Structure 1
Amino acid sequence: MDLSVMFFGADSTTAGQTSHEQTYEDILTVAREADRLGFHALWTPERHFQQVGQVFPSPPVLGAALAVATERIGIRAGSVVLPLHHPLKVAEDWAVVDNLSHGRVGLSVATGWHSTDFTLAPGTYADRRARTMDTVPALRSLWAGESAEYPDGTGRPVSVVTQPRPVQDTLPLWITTSGNPETWEAAGRLRCGVLGATVGQSRDELADKIDRYRAACSAAPDQRGTDAHGRVTLMAHTYVGADDAEVRRLAAAPLKSYLASYLRQTAANRTADAGTAALTEEKTAMLAEFAFERYLSWGSLLGSPGHCAKMLADLAELGVDEIACFIDFGLGRDDVLTGLRRLAELAELKEALR
């Protein structure tokens, strides 16, 4: 099982002030260290106009910086919110990053979910799921260098081929899912990988979704995608401490603060259900506390090396191919780097014992 690094939070607010310049420096520092330690890939999200994820409005721009700052580690978008962008622009931008990285690019595409994000493309919100799934074949075709017809400035169709040409002939693609089993199956039918998360589901629910995905992928025809086995990548909150007590001491406050911010963001979505939209600060704090305690018991890499080794073995048994370790939920840079080094040591030990 591969271990990657997922940037997803990076809330750089300190005492009411933002220091985004320092946040980007921290991201580059962590990326270089992950590259040196042998991690598989770096994942960056796409977020707009939110407190959570405030430094991630443009995955290809940040991906270009990561490409030139590293040497061998994969550069992944986790995710490109596909309905917000023209497929021609997605293919062009990421072909640049593929060239800068010498062929290390991979994309997970998402439907998007927060209504405020779609300020950028309000007309695509209602049918965002269908748009995403329908665009995947077109994106693969554009990446492969095939021409496509789109209306030009006069409204008449024109045949275009995107430039520059990427290094990779085939674009590694994932579909991002928040947990809907239908999305897992759709990813399988498209022969894409699936990018999910351990959060919000039990072990049995996750096992069922992986089984559904594998069956759909196996039954699907080849589509310039992954093989019949597919690829399951799961995001998991990660900090490997010296012991469980250290993890609780260091991670509790920042992770619960992050979770509360995420819940407030969810409540601000105009399509949120009435219960979520009406969350009080007290209920938000209670839910964050509950989620933190659950993460410590299952579904995260928060704990001692021994605890994390057991979790990795359990996820591998379920059929997970890659863990995208979510590390920037509020810990300081030095603690993040220390946790990554412990995780790398754990991975090396497991490999040596095979």
Structure 2
Amino acid sequence: MDFGVNFFPVLPPERKSAADYYQEVLSLSVLAEELGFEHVQTIEHYGSAYGGYCPDPVTLLTAIAGVTDRIRIATGAVVPAFTHPLKLAGKLAMLDNLSGGRLDVGFGRAFLPDEFDWFEVPMGESRARFDEGVEVCRRLWTEEKVEWKGQFHNFGPVTLLPRPVQKPCMPLFVASATSPDSCAAAGRKGYHLQVVPSVTSREQLQEMLAGYRESWADAGHTGRHRIQIKYTCYLDEDREQALEAARLFEQNYIDLMTDAVEAWGSTRSDQYPGYEQFIEKARTYQFDASLAANKVLAGTPEDVAAQLADIREWFGDDLTVSLQFNSGWMPLEQSTRAMHLFADRVVPALGGGRSPQHLLMV
């Protein structure tokens, strides 16, 4: 197992300004590199306190690249449906150059009905726009004089500049929430995978990962597949203080997510089967059940190490665990302390040790 850090701003402006949040992200990114984490990543959302501080992950990751030297930077994820592929591919190739070839590109479909409405993109086109956008970007990065005639875009021939530093292009990840079919499709195409265990059951996620690994192997891809799995993490030497923070900020996450998914109360889409259940799941959320199911990591370093040992047993040792240490409006000092505790005590408890490049787990 490897470990990285992810940033998902779920907070309203009255709790922390955007400028202050960005400065804290830069500070924590520098610390993540110093402590040996494998990556930092961020998301793409719009128009609400549920991620709205990051409408353009490329901008934030460019700032992070400017204050770091070694740590990988990742989108988790960008949304092809909301950006023309020529623009998206160009921005990401530019970031790969500015970072010295440290970029991992995660693509996502988006899932909030309001965002599709604001961009005037029909949700019924979600899968097709995603597939076309990812393929166009891949071709623009790996080929010259690309001519594309698709369902949504027609252009070319064009040779994208700048060319990516990494060859044939940056590592490509696909984000999947609940779909085994999406995971299997990613494996067949040779894409890496990003998953979020908080929105699915252990058994369903095990099925998703098994299908992904099987499809990757059956397709005969060379090299090692990569699976990122994302958790919030609350660490303190005092268990009660860690759990107090976890209860507060996990409920904040649920409350703001509930507001963001409200449109699912009147929206149905065959592209997103079962997503109307998000509202009821949020309303019936129970922190203790989430903690017991290892959907959130919280407690002392020993507690969190035990949770991760279970996660490794459940989902495999080929994971990169991406951790959110600064949930909500958590003070910077609290996040900093948690990251130090994780690097100094959680990793050794799992049998790993620090590396100048990243935390390597056996």
Same fold flag (TM > 0.5): yes
Alignment of 1:54-93 (within 5 A): 54-93=52-91
CA distance in 2, matches of 1:91, 1:275: 32
Q: Deviations over 1:207-261 (max 9, x none)?
A: 2221111011111254xxxx46522111111122214322112221122122111
The 8 Å contact of residues 191 and 228 in structure 1, kept in 2 or not, is answered as no
Aligned to 1:287: 284
Letter in 1 for 2:301: P
Aligned to 1:159: 157
Q: Deviations over 1:104-125 (max 9, x none)?
A: 0011101111122224542453
TM-score (norm 2): 0.86
The 8 Å contact of residues 177 and 200 in structure 2, kept in 1 or not, is answered as no
CA distance in 1, matches of 2:88, 2:336: 32
CA distance in 1, matches of 2:137, 2:289: 38
Compute the displacement of 1:9 (Å): 2.6
Q: Could you tell me the percent identity over the aligned residues?
A: 26
**Relative to structure 1, is the Cα distance of residues 182 and 71 closer, same or farther in structure 2, using a 3 angstrom cutoff?**
same
Letter in 2 for 1:351: G
Runs of 4+ in 1 over 4 A off after TM superposition: 272-279
Q: Deviations over 1:155-213 (max 9, x none)?
A: 98531111111211122111111111111111111111110011133333222221111
Alignment of 1:200-219 (within 5 A): 200-219=199-218
Compute the displacement of 1:275 (Å): 6.6
Alignment of 1:250-265 (within 5 A): 250-265=245-260
Of 284, 305, 309, the match for 1:309: 305
CA distance in 2, matches of 1:56, 1:211: 32
Of 243, 251, 275, the match for 1:248: 243
Aligned to 1:271: 267
In structure 2, runs of 5+ residues without a counterpart are: 269-273, 354-360
Aligned to 2:11: 11
CA distance in 1, matches of 2:275, 2:5: 35
Aligned to 1:110: 108
Aligned to 1:347: 347
The 8 Å contact of residues 9 and 258 in structure 1, kept in 2 or not, is answered as no
Task: Tell me the secondary structure at the aligned position of residue 14 of structure 1.
Answer: coil
CA RMSD of aligned residues (A): 2.5
CA distance in 2, matches of 1:157, 1:203: 43
Q: Is the counterpart of residue 321 in structure 1 residue 319 in structure 2? A: yes
**Relative to structure 1, is the Cα distance of residues 104 and 277 closer, same or farther in structure 2, using a 3 angstrom cutoff?**
closer
Task: Tell me the secondary structure at the aligned position of residue 78 of structure 2.
Answer: strand
The 8 Å contact of residues 301 and 342 in structure 2, kept in 1 or not, is answered as yes
Compute the displacement of 1:93 (Å): 0.3
Compute the displacement of 1:12 (Å): 4.5
Aligned to 2:234: 239
CA distance in 1, matches of 2:110, 2:94: 24
Compute the displacement of 1:274 (Å): 10
- Greater shift in the superposed pair: 4-13 or 188-197: 4-13
Compute the displacement of 1:316 (Å): 2.3
Letter in 2 for 1:189: R
CA distance in 1, matches of 2:245, 2:126: 39
- Greater shift in the superposed pair: 172-181 or 302-311: 302-311
Aligned to 1:182: 181
Task: Tell me the secondary structure at the aligned position of residue 261 of structure 2.
Answer: helix
The 8 Å contact of residues 136 and 148 in structure 2, kept in 1 or not, is answered as no
**Relative to structure 1, is the Cα distance of residues 65 and 156 closer, same or farther in structure 2, using a 3 angstrom cutoff?**
closer
The 8 Å contact of residues 240 and 304 in structure 1, kept in 2 or not, is answered as yes
User: Whose RCO is larger (CA < 8 A, sep 6+)?
Assistant: 2
The number of residues matched between the two structures is 339
Q: Deviations over 1:265-311 (max 9, x none)?
A: 111345267975986xxx95x534x1x22232123321221121122
The 8 Å contact of residues 236 and 324 in structure 1, kept in 2 or not, is answered as yes
Task: Tell me the secondary structure at the aligned position of residue 52 of structure 1.
Answer: coil
Compute the displacement of 1:34 (Å): 0.7
In structure 1, runs of 5+ residues without a counterpart are: none
Compute the displacement of 1:49 (Å): 0.8
Task: Tell me the secondary structure at the aligned position of residue 164 of structure 1.
Answer: coil
